[in-house]
Amino acid sequence: MHYPKSVAVTWQTSFDQLSTPARQLLQCLAWLSPAPVPETLLEVSLVDSDNAIDLFAALAELESYSLVSRGDNPSFTVHRLVQEVTRR
């Protein structure tokens, strides 16, 4: 990575503590525009090996680690740096 080690260590520490659904959601969100994403996008049902994934719970988990920010309206954003590091 081309980021200082402190950023990489902080990132890895947070990422390691995420549940599998939260990791999967973050990996998908990393490829979207950094513009606000409507929460209605998460109403689509996803299934991971016979288990339904609660995307709203995964979003709440990402918010608890400050990996996404929720807006006043039902939308959220992912910071460009978070997206870049997630993609790599």
CATH of residue 54: 1.10.10
Say what the pLDDT of residue 83 is.
Answer: 86
- What is the domain extent for residue 31? 5-87
pLDDT tens digits for 52-76?
678 889 999 999 988 889 887 899 9
Say what the pLDDT of residue 2 is.
Answer: 61
CA–CA–CA angle 45, 64, 18 (5° rounding): 65
DSSP β-bridge partners for residue 37: 76
**Of 18, 31, 41, which Cα lies nearest the Cα of 80?**
31
* pTM value > 0.75: yes
Say what the pLDDT of residue 46 is.
Answer: 62
Say what the pLDDT of residue 19 is.
Answer: 92
- Per the structure, how many domains does the chain have? 1
